Structure 1
Amino acid sequence: MYFYRILFFILLAQLFDEAKVFASIIPKTVSKCRSIQGPEACEDIVIHHQSGIAFMACGSEIGRRTQWWPPIDQLNTQTQPREQPWIYNLETDEIFPVSLKNFPKDTDIALHGLGMYVDPYNSNKIALFFVNHRRSGSVIEVFDHTIGTKELIYRETVSSELIVTPNDVTPVSANEFYTTNDRRYTYKQEKLRQFESDTGRSWTNVIFHSSKNDTTFIAAEGISYANGIIANWNYTRIYVNSVGTGETIIYDRREDNLLLEIERVHIGVAVDNQSIDEVSGEIYVAGFPDVPATFKYLLDPTGKSPPPPVLIAKISNVTKKAHPLLGSNYQVTKVLETNGSDFNSISIAAVDRKRNVILLGSILNKGITRCDLE
């Protein structure tokens, strides 16, 4: 069952080892961190900066390790997943699960990536987009929310033959979004999926969907294991993390919603999700320097394997235009790197510059971590 996954991680390990990415872990940490308990396995986090409210796509650590969560090949279809979004208030420290109003009661909820759109005319009105791995097929669930309430109001489910293995999602309007497929083939196409992984194919893509005119199409392709995706403040630029190449790919968004690649920023580790500093525009990327250790930890149903090393990198725009000889106009600096003993399997580092806070979420860990942002 896990043969293709094993070979995929071996391939990644060889790639990053050749680049001498994780030959050694050089510790660097952030200050004044504390654990906030309640939710589990909060793989993705977005922050509503006007209010200081964080929305989290969370789940069950045990459920993901032993029952149903396709991203790590847990495929027990006999158990219905019933995961839940959570809210955390950065101002009051209150944390609680949210109810899903009008969402079909018997529908699977197995959450992954998360995106938020803020109404430009009323910042208290937002739309939340969740990747949901239903047993019948993965979809994007869309909810409306009013800041200050404790419920998400179900609006629609988006499914498409092009949305096959969604990992993350970023909206560009209340009715439009981009989502990454991290594989070309689903777990139901095991042999083809195995071949894709064994040979390190750049077969994944970014899908655009509009509910305004009911269109869905491939916006960008040729990506090796597309993962996290976000948009800048005015939705003119899209950032996609490629696990297979250890890069953040930067695209310009065209008027027809196709994506034009303009640059690749080398991070050098298996990159997961990312967030944007709402003030500076800097990008914070979470990643895993030691691919074999990450693989061993994620696929251990007991949860007893040592947590893998983690890294958070910051991408800054240091010049207005790339120099023809010096190359990239982006600089990558290390924000955090540890052996994993103090920060467990970080998949997202969500930044709020207004309050100088960074929230760390994890694929499988209990709780979230709040740190001061320097």
Structure 2
Amino acid sequence: MVQFEFLGPRSIKLGQAVTVGLFALLSIFLYSRAGILYIFYANAPTRLIKVNNLPHLDIKFQNVVRNCEHMVLEPSAAFALLSCDPGRDTWNTVMGTFIDANSPPETGVYIWKYADADATSHPQKLKLLDYPASPSDFHPLGIHLHSASNTLYIVNHAASGSRVEVFRLFPAEQAATHIKTIKHDLLAAPNSITALSESELLVTCDHYFLRKNQPILAQVETYTGIPGGSVVHVDLGADEAKINLVTRVPFANGIAQLNTTTFAVASTSTNAVYLYLLSRHDGPPRLTRTATIPLSFHPDNLSVDGAGNLLIAGHPHGPTFEEVMKDAAARAGDGDKTDEKSWKGSSWVSKWNPSDGLKTLYVGDEYGTSCTAVRDSGRKLGMAVGLYERGVLTWTE
């Protein structure tokens, strides 16, 4: 005999409540991601509105460096350090390219004495002395120079596991001596670094789920804006490094120090830069979010110039950036080293300060995939590098 179960008013109301609750959660999620969806539409290559407020634009050293992810300036000595990895075409742990981990010979950190009178001056590869690992396992990403001690910190996305390498820099000799390697579970996905002192660091880690181990969950984390990324405090003052989680940030990318207490962190998946107040109590420092700078692009790395401007470089259109990455991987995997690209990347550079707010400096595709912009305010010289681009974009004011 077939039996029918009667659902009374209470059951119906419970079902309705669950449906309404799920709909409300979905609405909140879609509202929070509306900015991403709009950017995917408005910044598509056929719709992207180009802007150029950078005077005397030029692209230098296209035959010297490529695939440079990060750049730091030392204005007092007029040199720049560039983190470049042509091996990124076949090995990019953040974006999920795992074809070949062997770095080409030109992979490494470069020093460019940009104020030299010699017009032929160009970036020179930094000699890494006493480096214990194989040079083919060196994939530099974010770098930071603590100027007072000439301590150079380098994020290395090695095939054997990501870590932070510590060097002592000797600019005159164009060399750096390896001091130590820092590996930790909280540094499984390190991206960018800023130093509080010679022995204290803040390191961003872009994801909780790694593309190498959990590719689907990593993609979900990226596109939903889940705060799986983090900022980690590293204390090297003791014999054994002390490492602690400070805060969670969706796709935490670049980090920069605006003043003695204010730090900026780029959140790539939420199209924003978050400002934090650093405070110290017992234990590691705390970061309290104080403001948000909404953006019309996906921010990558950050820097602060001598005039106090926060420079933000990034990518106008995520789907196009992914196609550029796939195209580079396909060409490199086939042994094709030509510049005949199927996809052309675009760049976005902005600056922000508390008085003037946000200003767009450059949007275009003459130079693509911008990931870091820096500026020597005294010499009125700006520079930017691109993750899947050749050379250095420069401008003079």
Same fold (TM over 0.5): yes
Matches within 5 A, 1:59-208: 59-60=85-86, 63-65=87-89, 67-76=90-99, 79=102, 83-92=107-116, 93-106=121-134, 108-119=137-148, 125-186=149-210, 187-197=212-222, 199-208=224-233
Name the CA distance, whole Å, in 2 between partners of 1:275 and 1:45: 9
Displacement, 1:269?
Answer: 1.0
Is 1:16 aligned with 2:42? no
Name the CA distance, whole Å, in 2 between partners of 1:313 and 1:26: 13
Q: How well do the aligned residues superpose, as a CA RMSD in angstroms?
A: 2.2
Displacement, 1:218?
Answer: 0.8
* SS state at 1:240 partner: strand
AA aligned to 1:370 is: T
The match for 2:320 among 293, 296, 312 is 293
Per-residue CA deviation, residues 230-262 of structure 1 (Å, 9 max, x unaligned), is: 12354x221100011111111111124121111
CA contact (8 A) 2:164 2:182 kept: yes
C-alpha change, 1:219 and 1:335, in structure 2 (3 Å) is same
Which residue of structure 2 aligns with residue 243 of structure 1?
268
C-alpha change, 1:24 and 1:95, in structure 2 (3 Å) is closer
C-alpha change, 1:159 and 1:81, in structure 2 (3 Å) is farther
CA contact (8 A) 1:226 1:241 kept: yes
Which residue of structure 1 aligns with residue 309 of structure 2?
282
CA contact (8 A) 1:21 1:289 kept: no
Q: Comparing 78-87 with 267-276, which one deviates more in the overlay?
A: 78-87
Identity %: 20
Q: Comparing 168-177 with 17-26, which one deviates more in the overlay?
A: 17-26
Name the CA distance, whole Å, in 1 between partners of 2:187 and 2:104: 20
Matches within 5 A, 1:223-238: 223-234=249-260, 236-238=261-263
Which residue of structure 1 aligns with residue 51 of structure 2?
27
Per-residue CA deviation, residues 195-230 of structure 1 (Å, 9 max, x unaligned), is: 434543122111110111321111111x22111111
Which residue of structure 1 aligns with residue 69 of structure 2?
43
The match for 1:56 among 63, 82, 96 is 82
Is 1:309 aligned with 2:346? yes
Name the CA distance, whole Å, in 2 between partners of 1:272 and 1:34: 22
C-alpha change, 1:167 and 1:81, in structure 2 (3 Å) is farther
Which residue of structure 1 aligns with residue 291 of structure 2?
263
* SS state at 1:148 partner: helix
CA contact (8 A) 2:303 2:312 kept: yes
Q: Which is strand-richer, 1 or 2?
A: 1
Per-residue CA deviation, residues 100-159 of structure 1 (Å, 9 max, x unaligned), is: 01111525200111111111xxxxx41111110011211011111133221011111111
Name the CA distance, whole Å, in 2 between partners of 1:74 and 1:158: 24
Gap runs ≥5 in structure 1: 1-10, 120-124, 319-329
Name the CA distance, whole Å, in 2 between partners of 1:163 and 1:356: 36
C-alpha change, 1:277 and 1:176, in structure 2 (3 Å) is same
Per-residue CA deviation, residues 295-325 of structure 1 (Å, 9 max, x unaligned), is: 211221236133233111111111xxxxxxx
C-alpha change, 1:148 and 1:44, in structure 2 (3 Å) is same
Is 1:211 aligned with 2:244? no
- TM normalised by structure 1 equals 0.84
AA aligned to 1:291 is: G
AA aligned to 1:53 is: F
Which residue of structure 2 aligns with residue 335 of structure 1?
361
Which residue of structure 1 aligns with residue 336 of structure 2?
none
Per-residue CA deviation, residues 325-352 of structure 1 (Å, 9 max, x unaligned), is: xxxxx610111112x1x11211111111
CA contact (8 A) 1:68 1:76 kept: yes
Gap runs ≥5 in structure 2: 1-30, 332-338
Name the CA distance, whole Å, in 1 between partners of 2:214 and 2:78: 42
Which residue of structure 2 aligns with residue 6 of structure 1?
none
CA contact (8 A) 1:13 1:290 kept: no
CA contact (8 A) 1:309 1:345 kept: yes
Name the CA distance, whole Å, in 2 between partners of 1:347 and 1:190: 23
* SS state at 1:248 partner: strand
Name the CA distance, whole Å, in 2 between partners of 1:292 and 1:13: 15
